[in-house]
Structure 1
Amino acid sequence: MTVTAAARLRDAIASLKETSDRLSRLSQRSYQNPYTAVDWPESVDPETEWFSSPELLSLYGTPVWDTLDERARCRLAFHEAANFYSLNIHGEKGLMQGLAARLYRRDLADVADYLHHFLDEENKHSIFFGGFCTRYARVYPTKQVSFEVKRPRDVEDFLFFARVMVFEEIVDRYNWWQGRDERLHPVARFINNNHHFEEARHLIFGRRLVEAMWQACAPAWDDELIEDVREHLTQFLVTSWREYYNPAVYADAGLADPYDLAEQAWAAPAQREHRRRTSTKLLGYLTSTGILVKEPVDAF
């Protein structure tokens, strides 16, 4: 990175100090103890209680959905809740590692205080998600594969925060919906609503940071590097969505041919439209800032 590019990045980070300080104050006011915030029941009934909103399930709107009775739909919703929480566990694990690695960098000093709150809150979220999975279900393994590609530090920083934002934008749409769904078990409503409440701050920070870093760094990148960045984010968006169609969930829910079912669900018109609708705000941000110049058709 050239001296000019480095100076632009420092200025971009400095421009976020007021936002960072305001978000830090909000985090302090809403501080909570994750070990006492939830009254975990001793057991739950996956076949009579809803743990995911039916409209958000990966088989909703597909021919298979019409063949399922109420108990089977509830059972699917329970395992998809565990999968959704597992995705968050794995996503936040990588997020916490990335934040911890960047905490005391001099060029990020103006936002360091909020990075501490960010890290603390993500750890608390993992306690909630893990609390559900380890008590009532299981933690599903992630399918995300990380390939080691040597990139300049400014590129790695941008991609890290951009991936975090992409992941959290999708998750937040589910949290927002399910935190308000009175059909859901109180524990499921709490986990989703609490996550949305704190993620709102993270998303404000993430959108402003990612845009500031793009404006500061991208002018110094050549066309090949910019294309690599765009391809990386596009593939990350596709693979993030793919994990919502988990054959292990279908198997645990007692459904036949889980791998074929995952492919059918992914390709179903209703599900393609669901992913597009859920991603509308995110795609609008990515294209309006110039980070992406076209819609990732493989995801929709």
Structure 2
Amino acid sequence: MALHAGDMEETAERLVRSAGLMSFDVDKDIDWSAGFDPDLAYFSEHRCSLYGTPTWDAWSRDQRVEFTKHQLASMHAIEAWVETLLMQMLIRQVYSADSASAYAWHLYTEIADECRHSTMFGRMVAATEAPTYRAPWWARQGGKVFAATAPPAVAMALAMFFEEYGDALQRESAGDEALQPLVRRISHIHVIEESRHLKFARAELIERLPNSPVQKALVSALYGPIALLVTRFMVSPQVYENCGLDKRAATRAARKNKHWRQTQKWASEHAMRTFAELGIRNRFGDALCRVGGVL
């Protein structure tokens, strides 16, 4: 799977051309004034963390729609946080790159894409009037250290897992006519632009890992914790409390929910398959992934 010399530059140049043909302006290409239909969900119901539980079955239609709104807000807030971490790592990467290379141009383009995506997710949370759900304080502080120190391959592994996870959910959302049109539009834009980032992340990992035993060992050690934290943070416990539930009991119910665990596995399977092909999976990492429902 190793790339030959020059392949990374060719890949970057191709992705830069693609960005020139298919990129979006979050101010001009999204109708933020459209509002919401009270009868439509904000997130596919069968992908909700409590779908299929006794709580879900007992809820009215309005309560289910309200929960989808809060789950979407939570996931968008976490997406903005992780993409901000990724931008910091990409800035560190391009700092040492040749600014006359297509590789650097793609890094700058991806940083610009992620800036727009984070803005788009933040504006969506604001539009729903849901709270801004955040990762725990200790995770935000740890994220600062991670973003400042993680080597490129680790950054790309984080990007690949997180973006594959979100891409699967948003591809489905983009085509789900039962969802709010604004949700579908945002999902459509994100899927198109993230496809470039996923191609770049795969190419980076394929090129770097065989030539760097240290970075390969780090990715092998960290993919499990990363997968577990991403899946745990996606739906904040505060979501349950804001929807009238006991947050501890609801969190436990969600973690045991076979439907939610199947969604976690489905959304993560492409990244996990790629990690296996790269030879970085191990018993420790897979064990943590099983705890999170990823395997």
Give the TM-score normalised by structure 1.
0.86
Q: Which runs of 5+ in 2 are unaligned?
A: none
| Post-superposition offset of 1:104 | 3.1
Structure 2 Cα separation of the partners of residues 80 and 280 of structure 1: 21
The 3 A distance-change label for structure 1 pair 280 and 250 is same
- The corresponding residue for 1:213 is 208
| Post-superposition offset of 1:65 | 1.6
Q: Deviations over 1:243-298 (max 9, x none)?
A: 123211112223x2012211221122222222222222111111111021343322
The count of residues paired between Structure 1 and Structure 2 equals: 283
- The corresponding residue for 1:30 is 22
The 3 A distance-change label for structure 1 pair 149 and 90 is closer
Q: Do the aligned partners of 1:13 and 1:110 also contact (CA within 8 Å) in 2?
A: no
Q: Do the aligned partners of 1:61 and 1:270 also contact (CA within 8 Å) in 2?
A: yes
- The corresponding residue for 1:20 is 12
**Aligned alpha-carbon RMSD (Å):** 2.6
Of 206, 220, 235 in structure 2, the residue corresponding to residue 230 of structure 1 is 220
Of 169, 175, 182 in structure 2, the residue corresponding to residue 174 of structure 1 is 169
Q: Which runs of 5+ in 1 are unaligned?
A: 1-8
Does 1:283 find its partner at 2:242? no
Task: Indicate the SS of the match to 1:106.
Answer: coil
| Post-superposition offset of 1:70 | 0.8
Q: Do the aligned partners of 1:52 and 1:77 also contact (CA within 8 Å) in 2?
A: yes
Q: Do the aligned partners of 1:82 and 1:133 also contact (CA within 8 Å) in 2?
A: yes
- The corresponding residue for 2:71 is 80
Q: Name which one, 1 or 2, has greater alpha-carbon Rg.
A: 1
Task: Indicate the SS of the match to 1:16.
Answer: helix
After TM superposition, the structure 1 = structure 2 runs for residues 91-240 of structure 1, keeping only pairs within 5 Å, are 91-106=82-97, 109=101, 111-137=103-129, 138-143=131-136, 144-145=139-140, 146=142, 156-218=151-213, 221=214, 228-240=218-230
Q: Do the aligned partners of 2:16 and 2:105 also contact (CA within 8 Å) in 1?
A: yes
- The corresponding residue for 1:90 is 81
The 3 A distance-change label for structure 1 pair 285 and 190 is same
Task: Indicate the SS of the match to 2:212.
Answer: helix
Percent of paired sites with the same residue: 24
| Post-superposition offset of 1:107 | 7.1
Structure 2 Cα separation of the partners of residues 147 and 132 of structure 1: 23
The 3 A distance-change label for structure 1 pair 190 and 73 is same
Structure 1 Cα separation of the partners of residues 145 and 121 of structure 2: 31
The 3 A distance-change label for structure 1 pair 257 and 205 is same
Q: Deviations over 1:82-130 (max 9, x none)?
A: 1111111101111111112222313795511111110111111112111
- The corresponding residue for 1:63 is 54
1:194 is aligned with what amino acid?
I
Structure 1 Cα separation of the partners of residues 128 and 267 of structure 2: 28
Task: Indicate the SS of the match to 1:139.
Answer: coil
Structure 1 Cα separation of the partners of residues 132 and 5 of structure 2: 36
Q: Do the aligned partners of 2:69 and 2:128 also contact (CA within 8 Å) in 1?
A: no
- The corresponding residue for 1:243 is 233
Q: Please say which of residues 33-42 and 241-250 is displaced more in the overlay.
A: 33-42
Q: Do the aligned partners of 1:179 and 1:190 also contact (CA within 8 Å) in 2?
A: yes
Runs of 4+ in structure 1 off by over 3 angstroms are 11-14, 42-45, 106-110, 147-150, 225-229
Q: Do the aligned partners of 1:51 and 1:81 also contact (CA within 8 Å) in 2?
A: yes
Structure 2 Cα separation of the partners of residues 107 and 215 of structure 1: 23
2:104 is aligned with what amino acid?
A
| Post-superposition offset of 1:198 | 0.7
Q: Do the aligned partners of 1:17 and 1:110 also contact (CA within 8 Å) in 2?
A: yes
2:87 is aligned with what amino acid?
M
Q: Please say which of residues 287-296 and 15-24 is displaced more in the overlay.
A: 287-296
